[in-house]
Structure 1
Amino acid sequence: MTTRRAFLTQAGLFATGALLMPKLTSAKIDGKAGLQLYSLREQLPADPKGVIAKIAQAGYKEVETYGYSKEHGFFGLSAKEFSNVLKANGLSTPSGHYGMDMLFAEGKFGELDEAIEAAQITGQQYVTIPYLGDKFRKTGADLKNVAAKVNLAAERAKKGGLKLAYHNHNFEFDNIDGTSLYETLAKETNVTLEMDLYWAVRSNQDPIKWFEKYPGRFHMVHVKDMDKGQPELNTEVGKGSIDFKSIFAKAKLAGIKHFIVEQENFKIDPYASITESSRYLRNVLLG
């Protein structure tokens, strides 16, 4: 007969052994968990230092910036001040989203040059184009023109020791004269493709097929889950309908090093939300 004491002893030994055993079911993915600051766009302007501290407390190691201008910096902090706040909280920033309408409208590099300067000060490796207005992408000829300007911008960024990246929404996958903006950028440029997994899946795209077609091009991804009942909304990573485990299994093929959570809308407290997403990303998906 197994006594209660013997059972508890055996169970304790088993639990200890299980803790010491290496994980056999999943391999650790080489990458860092980050947060796109746009997720907290309503909170940041009032208290950027406090918000950054809460992001670090939520378990993130990196942030991706947005909304920089030479006049206002990052949320009222100069690039140097902002960099110091990140460092004080054990955070780094691999990438920033910088508006570049001047480049596509007039072929001017003023905004890009300001972005390069800010990226250099904060230690970013990527200057990322976050959005392309619809007036620049109506025809196949427009797409080729966009690709040509992206290549010019990439060369300018390279001279500054940086890489250019492009972040997608859904329209990049629309058929335009037999092709798409995403396909054009993949074929006719060599920039990093920062795939927003939510927008790709919502556009009925299979991220894995893109990884297989253009391996090594996706150094960053936006990890944004899709609400099961309302696909037009986001939810905490791991609670939605996107099969991140299958996608992350191809991370090495894709070249992903930075896994950046972004959530554009919330049903629960934003800080509770980003903490839940961080925990799932770090403990379940990255291993």
Structure 2
Amino acid sequence: MITRRNFIINTGLATTAVLALPSLAFTMNKKQIGLQLYTLREELPGKVKETLERVAKAGFTTVETYGFSIKDQFWGLSAAELKQILEANGLKAVSGHYNSGSFLSDGNTDELKASIEAAKILESEYFTIPWLDAELRKNIQDYKQIAVRLNVAAKMCQEAGLKLAYHNHDFEFDKHDGQTGFEILLKETDKNLVYFELDLYWVIFSGLNPVELFQQNPGRFKLWHVKDMDKLNRKLNTEIGSGSINFKDIFKETKVSGMQYFFVEQENNYSPTIFDSIKTSHDFVAKELA
């Protein structure tokens, strides 16, 4: 499985309360169809300007970055240079995926601080942790330690005017002594500081129902990855609307989720090209979901 590594129960009254509130955030942003730029990881290096021009031409208005490092910044561009290109194309990086160096393993904050500064320059709203290395998630205590560090990072983000989110894959849903890592992260992190970016594909790949997660944890899933599952090979992606995931029913539950932004993503199986794929996905979302 390709990862970003190298680029990078509260129910009952709580649910009722969320349902009673107007979903102002989603009402304001529902026309802002986003793209996770990891989709274009083969195109961006060396061709940032041209690639982002094509993203805008496909109809996207927001993006989620990936791959920041202290050494290379964003594909050789500084955050300020990237921001200029985004603005020239009517795009805004409302979120970014930041691996944050060794912070999750040893607490070193050097790259975390640099990443937060980059997110501030981009004027992002969310700072998203995209991945846990395998050696960091072997048991319950590992996940508890990760939760502690997420709380620390979230406080640093808050002080910088950002919100922290955690993005899931499938391994978080593996059980450890009867609990999943995802359950531990939800329980052990501060619900007022740590939010979640729910990758709908990986939730369904793991045999779970995203709507049930919304209902059990109302308001915590501020970001979504909208990534479809190939009908013949569930390990592959496909264009939104062409696969097996019923996004229409999921999008009916934005209020309970608390969703503010969503990002189309496709990691493989493009048809016929990656730019055709993102255009097909955008148009389906614009017509049928947003």
- Residues 127-159 of structure 1, C-alpha deviations (whole Å, 9 max, x = no match): 110000111111111111111111111111111
Offset of residue 101 of structure 1? 4.6
In the TM superposition, 1:61-210 aligns within 5 A as: 61-189=61-189, 190=191, 191-210=194-213
Letter in 2 for 1:279: D
Q: Output the CA distance in 1 between the equivalents of 2:129 and 2:203.
A: 17
Offset of residue 46 of structure 1? 2.4
Runs (4 or more) in structure 1 with deviation over 6 Å come to none
Aligned length: 260
Offset of residue 71 of structure 1? 2.3
Q: Output the CA distance in 2 between the equivalents of 1:82 and 1:46.
A: 13
CA RMSD of aligned residues (A): 1.4
Offset of residue 91 of structure 1? 0.5
More displaced stretch, 28-37 vs 192-201: 28-37
Q: Output the CA distance in 1 between the equivalents of 2:177 and 2:135.
A: 15
Equivalent in the alignment of 1:257 = 260
Q: Output the CA distance in 2 between the equivalents of 1:111 and 1:206.
A: 35
More displaced stretch, 70-79 vs 82-91: 70-79
- In structure 1, stretches of 5+ residues that fail to align are 1-27
Q: Output the CA distance in 2 between the equivalents of 1:241 and 1:82.
A: 35
Q: 8 Å contact 2:98–2:129 — kept in the other structure?
A: yes
Q: Matched residues, percent identical?
A: 46
Offset of residue 217 of structure 1? 0.6
Offset of residue 163 of structure 1? 0.9
In the TM superposition, 1:44-59 aligns within 5 A as: 44-59=44-59
Higher relative contact order (CA 8 A, sep 6+): 2
Equivalent in the alignment of 2:219 = 216
Q: 8 Å contact 1:101–1:132 — kept in the other structure?
A: no
Q: 8 Å contact 2:140–2:184 — kept in the other structure?
A: no
* Partner-residue secondary structure (3-state), 2:60: coil
1:245 aligns with 2:248: yes
